[in-house]
Amino acid sequence: MKNLQPFHLAIPVHDLNEARVFYGEVLGLTEGRSSEKWVDFNFYGHQFVIHETQEPIAKITPNNVDGKSVPIPHFGVVLLWNDFHSLAEKLQQKKIKFEISPYIRFKGKPGEQATMFFYDPSHNALEFKAFRDPEQLFAN
């Protein structure tokens, strides 16, 4: 995965200041440029932007994965194994309400991974995960 290019993702939020606190203080992302209606963040080397809107945020029926109801749509990042566990502990200390608490998915199978899901204040679903063996990222 050398030379991986950063992605750009822009999402809607209902309250820019509340989302700014969540992404900046709770998740610890570094803030970049901003205006009265949007804020850029460094999302683990990717350009992530929150845009304030009063439009409803789409919800789709969850998908069943490994016996859990996975929110659709969702976004996040694949972390290193120890970084995932550090973040999970930090979020638990901050009393984040998990939709799917941190656990090991596909245990003992190809693609074994740690994963967790939670929502931001505007109900955008996030997933953070880590593969025990990073080479298994795209394993069948």
Residue pLDDT, tens place only, 93-117: 999 999 999 999 999 888 899 999 9
Q: What is the pLDDT of residues 44-54, one digit of tens each?
A: 999 999 999 98
Predicted pLDDT of residue 2? 65
C-alpha angle with apex 40: 92 to 26, nearest 5 degrees?
15
CA distance 103 to 66: 11
pTM above 0.75, yes or no: yes
- More confident call, 78 vs 4: 78
Q: What pLDDT digit, counting tens, does each position of 50-95 carry?
A: 999 988 877 788 898 888 899 999 999 999 999 999 999 999 999 9
Sorted by where each starts, the structural domains of the chain and their CATH numbers stand as 8-52 (3.10.180.10), 68-136 (3.10.180.10)
User: Sign of dihedral through CA atoms 88, 93, 98, 103?
Assistant: positive
